[in-house]
Amino acid sequence: MDLPAYFIVGARPVKAVRTADGGLDVLAYDWESGGFVREMGYLTRITFPDAEVDAVGEADFESAVARLRSTRPPP
């Protein structure tokens, strides 16, 4: 898998990124904070995608995140 890689899993943006030591990390959109949290449970879903997993480009990913953040109520 080329990294970074961007996905929409159901309605949740998920990205796979390279770590500083050359490893892999999976970060999923956090509904409460509007940021990203480590969610390695998505690794299998993005590696072996099903009908709910869409691989997207960075621009589409960022648009999806911006839409979610714009609909989040302020803290």
- Please give the residue range of the domain that contains residue 55: 5-71
Residues 6 or more apart from 74 whose CB is under 8 A from it? none
User: Could you read off the pLDDT of 42-54 as tens digits, one per residue?
Assistant: 999 999 999 999 9
Quote the pTM value: 0.91
Q: What is the mean pLDDT of the chain?
A: 94
Phi first, then psi: what are they for 51, rounded to 5°? -65, -20
User: Could you read off the pLDDT of 18-32 as tens digits, one per residue?
Assistant: 999 999 999 999 999
Q: What total of structural domains would you count in the chain?
A: 1
